Copies of this chain bind each other. A is one copy, B any other.
């Protein structure tokens, strides 16, 4: 079971930089290591980087992961806005673009536009579709992860059950992974800044409210890919508020960006979107400041329950409204520290997102890279290469 893929993992992680390291770490015979390294070298996943510092004699050859051995394509699709990135196999961005779109145009139109933009980005960096090792797509709705299909997504008409991998298979011979946008944001933030933390929540508060869950350093998607839907948890004392989901008193209907904007409009201010709310906060408008602070408190009510239930090590708050994060986080922290148990909050970090609107694209790239460079996947690719 210790195939070439496992050796590649040791090299990527920096746990082995010479052939001797590999022999020591795996217990394999030197000749077996040599044979598997030959396969990795032939596939250009590894290169020999010359001698390392040594205490004497011929310096051993240093082995390094070739992060340029291919590229991954990533599309973080929002309701009205998309970010596309081509990255190398270490997650580093090589080319990037953003554009406005409407997810409600349906999959055929949206994916055709995404594909054209990918082609443009590949041309820009002089790579070909053959270099594409994997594709990652984030969408603003629940996803059946194993099939790459949105499932009953409320704001994505035409996408229910649509196979995004099938669409891309017309253009690329590479695996396509699709996930909910908040999940990939959670992954991006966790991978970039919080890898030492086992359990993390990433909360997106924009027009709606959702939560990405990292449990044991992996995304927890739930039985139907619906995990993290905290926007429709019921708040105490808001039974007069009807939510678009048909229930009453949902967090999103009270504290989401759309609700805040409409409440501020009713109070005589001008706010059509969550971004407008942030603009008013930044302009020092007291009613907007109070509204965001209260939104933080309501979010805190729901998160206090999540803290008791899940006991995360960190909560990262992102999304449009979080750009007014001082007011928002003050409210969130106030209620969580009041409501949750001391044991669960003693070391809890509650912080604003640091990746901002790049979190999703970074997370999607990592998701794809970990998939295509998983030891079994590398072993299979090498096997297929030998058979060809």
Q: Is A223 an interface residue (CB 8 A)?
A: yes
Separation of A230 and B308 alpha carbons in the complex (Å): 6
Q: B residues within 8 A CB of A134?
A: none
| B226 in contact with A220 (CB, 8 Å) | no
Q: Contacts A216-B216, A220-B310, A223-B311 given; indicate if A234 touches B305 (C-beta within 8 A).
A: yes
Q: Is A104 an interface residue (CB 8 A)?
A: no
Q: Is A339 an interface residue (CB 8 A)?
A: yes
| A227 in contact with B301 (CB, 8 Å) | no
- Taking residues whose C-beta sits less than 8 angstroms from the other chain, chain A's interface range is 35 or more
| Interface residues as binary, A1-24 with B (CB distance below 8 Å gives 1, 0 otherwise) | 110001000000000000000000
What is the CB-to-nearest-CB distance from A311 to chain B, in angstroms, rounded to a whole number? 2
Give this chain's copy count: 2
Q: SS class of chain A's interface: helix, strand, loop or mixed?
A: loop
Separation of A308 and B341 alpha carbons in the complex (Å): 21
What is the CB-to-nearest-CB distance from A35 to chain B, in angstroms, rounded to a whole number? 13
Residue of A309, A342, A346 contacting most chain B CB atoms (<10 Å)? A309
Q: Is A62 an interface residue (CB 8 A)?
A: no
Give the residue name and chain of the B residue nearest to A313 (CB).
Answer: B223
| Interface residues as binary, A333-366 with B (CB distance below 8 Å gives 1, 0 otherwise) | 0000011111110111000000000000000000
Q: Is A228 an interface residue (CB 8 A)?
A: yes
Chain A residues in the interface with B (C-beta under 8 A): 1-2, 6, 26-27, 142, 151-152, 197-199, 211, 213, 215-216, 218, 220-230, 232-237, 245, 247, 249, 301-302, 304-306, 308-313, 338-344, 346-348
